[in-house]
């Protein structure tokens, strides 16, 4: 071996050893860094994945809730529409029944000539109800009087109800005739609807301002003339021996 090359070889060997050590250190440091980064990022990645999963689940839940809400709203609207249709049908049926009842009332100028053997009828009750100016709506007091009258009907037999509507002297005569009829209708409709009285039992007379029951030049007198007189008459009398007797039933249109 050439002595002159020995230092150089030693230097090369030393350098190689140093380089190898450096590589080892670098590899070790690199592995350590990767492991550290992996240990730090893995929980973050897991949390991110869990958050994505939860977000997707929440989105599906929101969509499901919205779909159920829309279905519920649609169902409620359908039910409301059906209920409204039923209410309208019921209202139409009630209007038709009321119209039929009004058409079945006996509308006469007077009871004489349309009620057979009128002289044989005995009055059981006589009630007056009054109305506000140009009105045909029953008040609570009016209804209370009619309710009291209806208690008599529970035991009455062979009876008729004479309803005579009137007005004060204010206004056109033809209009007052119509107004007096509407007032008589209001009484008949109340009794017929609430107590199921057959329409043919009613005899309605609209006299307008033709027959005044009080002086019409005072407020109190005009109030009394805006009325309907209700007379409950029966043809079931009592004989001397106490038995019931009946005359012929009323006839008329």
Domain ranges of the chain: 11-104, 107-246
Q: Buried (b) or exposed (e) across 121-135, using 16+ Cβ within 10 A?
A: beebbebebbbeeee
More confident residue, 83 or 215: 215
In angstroms, rounded to a whole number, what is the distance separating the alpha carbons of residues 7 and 192? Answer: 137
Model confidence pLDDT, tens digit, residues 11-31: 666 666 666 666 555 555 555
Predicted TM-score (pTM) of this structure:
0.56
Range among 86-90, 233-237, 246-250 rated most confident: 233-237
- Written as six digits, the tokens of 92 are 């139409």
pLDDT above 80 for 78: no
Superfamily of domain 107-246: OmpA-like domain (3.30.1330.60)
Q: How far apart are CA 149 and CA 165, in angstroms?
A: 17
Q: pLDDT digit string (tens) for 192-213?
A: 999 999 999 999 999 999 988 9
Q: What is the pLDDT of residues 100-151, one digit of tens each?
A: 556 679 998 878 767 777 888 999 999 999 999 999 999 999 999 999 999 9
Q: Work out the pLDDT band at 6, boundaries 50, 70, 90.
A: low
């Amino acid at each position: 071996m050439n002595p002159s090359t020995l230092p150089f070889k030693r230097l090369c060997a030393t350098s190689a050893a140093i380089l190898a050590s450096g590589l080892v250190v670098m590899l070790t440091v690199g592995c350590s860094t990767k492991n550290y980064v992996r240990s730090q990022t893995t929980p973050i990645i897991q949390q991110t994945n869990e958050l994505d999963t939860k977000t997707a689940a929440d989105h599906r839940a929101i969509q499901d809730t919205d779909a159920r809400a829309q279905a519920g709203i649609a169902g409620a609207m359908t039910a409301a529409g059906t209920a409204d249709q039923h209410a309208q049908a019921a209202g139409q049926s009630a209007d038709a029944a009321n119209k039929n009842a009004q058409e079945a009332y006996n509308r006469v100028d007077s009871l004489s000539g349309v009620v057979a053997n009128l002289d044989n009828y005995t009055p059981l009750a006589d009630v007056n109800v009054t109305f506000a100016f140009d009105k045909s709506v029953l008040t609570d007091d009016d209804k209370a009087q009619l309710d009291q009258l209806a208690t008599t009907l529970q035991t009455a037999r062979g009876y008729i109800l004479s309803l005579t509507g009137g007005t004060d002297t204010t206004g056109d005569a033809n209009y007052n005739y119509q107004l007096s009829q509407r007032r008589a209708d209001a009484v008949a409709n109340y009794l017929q609807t609430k107590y199921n009285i057959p329409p043919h039992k009613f005899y309605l007379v609209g006299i307008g301002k033709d027959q005044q029951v009080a002086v019409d030049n005072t407020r109190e007198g005009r109030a009394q003339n805006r009325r309907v007189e209700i007379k409950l008459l029966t043809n079931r009398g009592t004989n001397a021996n106490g038995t019931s007797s009946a005359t012929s039933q009323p006839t008329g249109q």
